[in-house]
Amino acid sequence: MDSFKIGIYCVDDDPMITEILLFQLSKALGNEFSIEIENNPENVLNLMRSNLEYGIEPFVCIVDFQMPVIRGDELCRMLKKEFPKIKIIMLSGNSNALLVSDLEEDGLLEVYMEKPWIQEDLLRNVNSCLPLNLKFK
């Protein structure tokens, strides 16, 4: 692969949340980033693997905590196991403080944000997860 594109993933079981995240991130980031949304946490790893074949590197994943089948903390562990360099932002309105603390202590979570979020905070936190040469303004 000669060139690659930064992949930013948003995983939340609420389609309205992922659509808002897609809108806010797309508006701020433009075409230089691939922004993907997924409402089923079971599908996100396959989506990342598939996109990697097309040169889209998974750099940032925004994850909800409370989701059916796979909780956000479990998904964070799965993501970091397969993609150790991925940066994870947890965005949740209902989480378990102890489990979130464990993720932070284990170095599996870069940022925790509560819903509802402020767009500027979201963009600042995503930007802080990107490599220096890829930060947006």
pLDDT tens, residue by residue, 88-114 = 999 988 777 778 888 889 999 999 999
**Domain 5-129 CATH assignment equals 3.40.50.2300:** yes
pLDDT at 76 over 80: yes
Give pLDDT, residue 1: 41
Average pLDDT over residues 122-135: 86
* Selection from 53, 55, 58, 111 nearest residue 82 by Cα: 58
Q: Which pLDDT tens digit goes with each residue over 45-60?
A: 999 999 999 999 999 9
Residue extents of the structural domains in the chain: 5-129
Percentage of the residues of the chain whose pLDDT score is greater than 70: 94
Give pLDDT, residue 110: 95
The residue ranges of DSSP E strands in 64-107, in sequence order, are 87-92
Give pLDDT, residue 133: 65
* Residue appearing with tokens 């995983």: 11
Q: Which pLDDT tens digit goes with each residue over 7-16?
A: 999 999 999 9
Instruction: Answer whether the bond into residue 116 is a cis peptide, omega within 30°.
Output: yes
pLDDT at 2 over 70: no
DSSP 14-57: -HHHHHHHHHHHHHHHGGGEEEEEES-GGGHHHHHHHHHHTTEE
The answer to whether the pTM exceeds 0.85 is yes
The residue with greater pLDDT, 1 or 102, is 102
pLDDT at 6 over 50: yes
- Percent of residues in the chain assigned helix, strand, coil, to nearest 5: 45, 25, 30
